[in-house]
Amino acid sequence: MASQSLNSDWYTATNWLTPTAPAFSINGTGAVEFVWSVGTPPGAAGGLPISAGVYQLAAPSDSHRIYFRVTSGTATLYYQEFIGITFDGTKSGYAFSGGAGSDEDFVQSATVIAGFDDLTTRDAANPYEFAGYITTGEFNLSASADVFSAWISIEVPSVVSGRTFRIYGIKYSSDQSGNITDWDTLQNRTKTTAYAQFTTVNEGVLSVDITSIVEELQAVSGWSTTSPLQLFIEDNGSYANDLATLLALKVNSSQSAVIAVMTDGSSLEPVPAEPL
């Protein structure tokens, strides 16, 4: 839990675990009020009083954040903070193949695509199949670390509901992004036996448990804290006639990261940046 001593200025955290459904507690005897706002409210804005206690509230829309201040006395806000390892949008991307393999390539992109497209006209005959490659930088997880749970959270700008996808780990201790140049080189990467399967729904954020994948990757020869977490994602079904059934994942979003919790209760944290 992170904390913030409140004063007469409006305050909201920049690292809520779930910004649109924040979990928090208010401690102290001060008079605290809150308001939902798209930006920092003006000083003259009135808020609703909130007593000391534990809460989880829901935002009126995805663009709103919750702000707090004290009007008298002192109080402290304790909240669930977002701690995760972010993805590398400059190395992630997707491969595609169409026309029985006569048109294929790999596209580096922070928006990763997976699924089938039998609708869009391209260079070769439909259908086209897309598979995603998602990677972090240094994952900061040792081979001996005792992982309790690990999951990914990724913003979903576009999705077709009811499609079943699978996520596998790419089973290497070193960065494979330079070896992925087309559909074949992505498909030929060794993948974990473990996978995470999910069926798409019309939601803005994808959350998938990948604990078994992470644990299998820890056993890979040479795995260390500098190894990246690399994932492969594909549609587990087949194409639909004259339809595009694609899943788009925005890996460079503030909502997109890998969250891992150890059995001792600690969270996996990013490698500190080198000082300038």
Check which CATH number belongs to the domain holding 199 and give it.
2.60.120
pLDDT digits (tens, 9 = 90+) for 122-160: 999 999 999 999 999 999 999 999 999 899 989 999 999
Which of 48, 79, 110 is a domain's end point?
79
Residue 205 has pLDDT above 70, yes or no: yes
Residue 58 has pLDDT above 50, yes or no: yes
Answer whether residue 203 is part of any domain: yes
Answer whether residue 100 is part of any domain: yes
pLDDT band at 276 (very low <50, low <70, confident <90, very high): very low
Are the CB atoms for 140 and 270 separated by under 8 Å?
yes
169 and 229 assigned to the same domain:
yes
Residue 97, pLDDT score: 98
120 and 221 assigned to the same domain:
yes
Mean pLDDT of 44-57: 93
61 and 114 assigned to the same domain:
no
Are the CB atoms for 108 and 91 separated by under 8 Å?
yes
Domain hosting 70: range is 2-79
Which of 25, 57, 79 is a domain's end point?
79
235 and 103 assigned to the same domain:
yes
217 and 167 assigned to the same domain:
yes
Residue 215, pLDDT score: 98
Residue 11: CB partners within 8 Å, gap ≥ 6?
A: 4, 67, 68, 69, 77
pLDDT band at 14 (very low <50, low <70, confident <90, very high): confident
Residue 274 has pLDDT above 60, yes or no: no
Answer whether residue 228 is part of any domain: yes
194 and 254 assigned to the same domain:
yes
Residue 82, pLDDT score: 74
- Among the ranges given (94-98, 180-184, 257-261, 270-274), the one the predictor scored with the smallest mean pLDDT: 270-274
Residue 203: CB partners within 8 Å, gap ≥ 6?
A: 156, 159
Which of 79, 105, 135 is a domain's end point?
79
pTM across the whole model: 0.75
Residues 232, 133: Cα–Cα separation, whole Å: 5
128 and 238 assigned to the same domain:
yes
Residue 226: CB partners within 8 Å, gap ≥ 6?
A: 138
Residue 275, pLDDT score: 38
- Higher-pLDDT residue of 179, 255: 179
124 and 166 assigned to the same domain:
yes
User: How many structural domains comprise the chain?
Assistant: 2
Nearest alpha carbon to residue 197 among 212, 179, 182: 212
71 and 120 assigned to the same domain:
no
Answer whether residue 230 is part of any domain: yes
224 and 124 assigned to the same domain:
yes
Answer whether residue 159 is part of any domain: yes
Residue 272, pLDDT score: 58
Residue 253, pLDDT score: 85
Tracing tokens 């081979």 back to the chain, one arrives at 143
Answer whether residue 269 is part of any domain: no
Give ∠ CA 19-92-223 in degrees, rounded to 5.
95
Answer whether residue 141 is part of any domain: yes
pLDDT digits (tens, 9 = 90+) for 156-198: 999 999 999 999 999 999 999 999 999 999 999 999 999 999 9
229 and 176 assigned to the same domain:
yes
- Higher-pLDDT residue of 1, 263: 263
47 and 144 assigned to the same domain:
no
Answer whether residue 87 is part of any domain: no
- Averaged pLDDT score across all residues of the chain: 93
Residue 12, pLDDT score: 95
Pairing of strands 128-138, 147-158: unpaired
